[in-house]
Structure 1
Amino acid sequence: MKSLKEFTIPFVGLKIGKHHFEYDIEQSFFEHFEYEDFNDVKVNVDLVLEKKSTLLELHFKISGWVNVHCDLTNEPYNQDIENDFDLVVKFGDEYNDENIDLLILPHGSYEVNIQQYIYELIILAVPIKRIHPGVEDGTLDSEILKKLEELSPKLKEDETKVELEDMDPRWNTLKKLLTDK
């Protein structure tokens, strides 16, 4: 996959200390990754890069929303997301990104691309089960919800009444033995 130029940070020309970067992520970013679960995206990425003499520390913080479909009703809604992540970039003999929060770049590298980290940070911020807020508070009026309520199993109280009525009376005397201890 071709890397996007705006997410490549040339750290060679930066002074030692903290440097701030901001990115506005929209739907076109996810089209580049061919990710189609989001209908629309509006996420702000705040990145603080702290350059030290032997390594780089990157602190990502994201906030915003993604428009997704509800798992119960398939209604689209805006899911608020927030997440943060710390990444340490060290220098070594060869490229290595096997550790989650440690990236090793070869000696002589002059830039780091962060688009994959932003992509994963946003994807992981979205809950596994996506439920429309209107479902939780009862304000969403949907045909699917009405059908789900109609087909849902009855409450346990109704089941216990049916079980007591269908029970053979001979079992009642045996149950008394259990309570007479």
Structure 2
Amino acid sequence: MADNKDITVRMANEGDLADIYELIAELAEYERAADEVINTPHQLQKDWQDGCFKAWVAQLNGQTIGMALCYDRYSTWKGRCLYLEDIVVKQSHRRIGAGSALMKALVDYAKKHQYYSINWQVLTWNEPALNFYQKWNAEIDKEWWNGKLIVNQNQTDQ
């Protein structure tokens, strides 16, 4: 079993996008929503090149085993925030510290770049994720409801 000291975390580069996309697919499967993924590797690359998101990868022996993907968000009350869209560790590599290493990298980045907070959503049934965030002393807000307005339902890979 690997030790978390063997895990390295770094900011992702364009060469990591295939691994990131594989982790997105694994997460969608885990969250019982694989059929809801409309993003494609091509779109992910375009969005990367357009600066739509930042990502970090966790690696063990040169193999990507996890990732964190986030983007800038702005709070009218608090200012700059970082929105953590997903943090994912391969099923085969969970519980060895990769998630914590990714979260630490995000926290360090947010502090260094003067973000007020890191925000995210978590499914109510995802006990492992809820327990993970509790270890970071995160606040889980159960008061606000999520809203969304789909404006481009027929998004295609162009």
Provide the TM-score with structure 1 as the length reference: 0.23
More helix by share: 2
More strand by share: 1
Which one scores higher on RCO, CA 8 angstroms, separation ≥ 6?
2
Higher Cα radius of gyration: 1
Provide the TM-score with structure 2 as the length reference: 0.25
